[in-house]
A and B are shown apart, each in its own frame.
Chain A
Amino acid sequence: MSPIIKRKGEKFTIPSKYLLLILTILCCILMVITFTTNLFRGPLNALAGYIVVPFQEGITNVAGWMGDRTDELEQLREVLKINQELQDKVDALTIENTKLQQEKYELNYLRELFELYDNYEQYEKTGARVIARESGNWYHSFTINKGYDDGLRLDNNVLAGGGLVGRITNIGPNWATVTSIIDDDANVSGMILATSDNLIVSGDLQLMSTGNIRFQQLVDSSNKVVAGDKVVTSMISDKYLPGILIGYISSIEKDSNNLTKSGYLTPLVDFEHVEEVLVILENKEIGGE
C-alpha cells in the first residue's frame, strides 16, 4: 500500500498522507475562523438548508404519520374505556369550574398587583415543526422548519406547551437549530416567581434522562422558597425575555457555603416529545450592543 504506486487510468492522485494533512489543516483553519468570525455561517447554512432540510422534513412527516396511525389503532380501545370515565368526571368538573371561576377574579386582581400583567402572551409568535434532532447522543438540540425567511432571528426564544424550550443558536433560510435549556451547554438566568429571587438554571447531560434540570446560586435569605414554586426567566437574562415559565422546583437544599441554595426543577416541557414549538419573534433588547 505504498502511496507512490498509482493505479492505471488515474491521471493525478494525492497520496492519502498528504490529503490527511491538508484536510486536517483545513479543519483547523475552519475551526479558528468559526471561533473568531461569522464568515461561514451564512452561505454554508443557506446551502445546507436548500439541500438537507426538504428531505428531513419529508422523512419526519412520513415517520410521524406512520407512528400516528399505529398509535391510533392501539389507543382506540383504550379511548373508548376512558371516554366513559371522563363522562363522569365532566360532571364533577363542572361543579369545580364554577368554584374556579370565582377564584379567577381573585387571581386577575392579584396578577395586576404583581405587575405580571404583560406576560408573554403579548409577544408576536410563530409556530414551527421539529424536523430533526441532534444526530449524536451528547447534546440536546433540534432543527425546526422555519428560518430567517420566515422572520426568525438568532437568539429568538422558543416555547412549547407554555414553557421555555430554548433559543435559536444557528439559522439558515428555511431552518433553525434550537438549543434546549436541558442541553449540557445551556445556562438560563431564572427567578422564583413568588419571591423574585434570581437563580441559574443549567442543563446537564447526566440529568437529561431523569427529566430534571439543576439550578444553583439561589439567594434565598428569607427561606421562603419551597418545592413547587414556579421558576420563570429573570429580568436580568440577556437572551431570554422575562417571565417565561421554565418549570417548578422539585427539590431544594442549602449549599455548603450557607449563602446560596441549589436543587432541581422539573421543566414544564416534555423535551423528549417536543414536536411543535412556538418561536417568539422578538428578541430581548439589551443596551450596549
Chain B
Amino acid sequence: MKRNMIFTLLAFLCFLLQSTLLKKISFGGITPNLMVILISSVGFMKGRKAGLTIGFFCGILQDIFFGDVIGFYSLLYLYIGFGNGIFRKYFYPEDIRMPIALIAISDFTYSLLCYILQFLLNAKFNFGFYLKDIILPQMVYTIIVTIAVYPLILMLHKKLETQEKRSEKKFV
C-alpha cells in the first residue's frame, strides 16, 4: 500500500518535471524521458504487474494533457512496464549494466513505436531523420539521466524492500 502510494507520487513527479523543468534544460530541443526510466525500473525491480500498473498510470497522465486520443500512450507504457517485468529474475541490485541496457531498449522501442504509429502511418517516410534527430538523441540523453537518477530509485526500492520484509516477519 505504502509502496503503491510512493510510486504513484513518483510517477506524478516525473510527469511534472518532464513537462516543466526538463523542458528548460533540454539540449537542442530534446528532453530525456523520465517516465520510461521510472516505468522500466519499477518493472524489473518489482515484476510485471507493478510495471504495467505504473505504466498505465503514467500513460494516462500524458494522454490527458498531451495526447490526441486517451489510451494511446497508456497502451505503450503499459507494455513497456510489462516487458521490463519479465526481466525481474535477472535483476541484481549491484549490477547497473542490465538496468541501463533495459532502459535504453525501452526508450528506443517507445520512440520507434511513436514514430511508426504516428508518423510512418502518416506517410512520413524519412526514417533516417527521425532516427538521427529524435530517437537516438533522446535515448542517449535518457541514459545519461538514468545514471544520475537510477541510484535514487534503487535506494528507495531497497528501503521499501527492507521495510516490507520486516512487516512480513511480524505476520509470521
Contact = CB atoms under 8 A, between A and B. Distances in A.
Interface of A: 1, 8-9, 13-14, 16, 19-20, 23-24, 26-31, 33-35, 40, 44-45, 48, 52, 55-56, 59-60, 63, 67, 131-139, 141, 143, 170, 177, 184-185, 205-206, 208-209, 272
Contacts of A35: 69
B71 A177 contact: no
Interface in B106-162: 114-115, 118-119, 122, 124, 126, 129-130, 133-134, 138
A27 to B, nearest CB: 4
Contact of B20 (A1, A9, A56): A56
14 contacts: A1-B88, A8-B171, A14-B49, A31-B69, A44-B70, A45-B64, A48-B65, A52-B12, A133-B20, A133-B23, A136-B31, A177-B65, A205-B124, A206-B126
A246 B21 CA distance: 29
Interface string B159-172: 00000000010011
Interface in B24-70: 24, 28-31, 33, 35, 47-49, 52-53, 56, 59, 61-62, 64-66, 68-70
Chain A interface main SS type:
helix
Given A9-B171, A63-B21, A16 B52 contact: yes
Given A133-B19, A139-B66, A34 B24 contact: no
Contacts of A1: 47, 88-89
Chain B interface main SS type:
helix
Contacts of A135: 15, 18-19, 31, 35, 62, 65-66
A216 B16 CA distance: 37
Interface of B: 12, 15-21, 23-24, 28-31, 33, 35, 47-49, 52-53, 56, 59, 61-62, 64-66, 68-72, 74-75, 78-79, 82, 85, 88-89, 114-115, 118-119, 122, 124, 126, 129-130, 133-134, 138, 168, 171-172
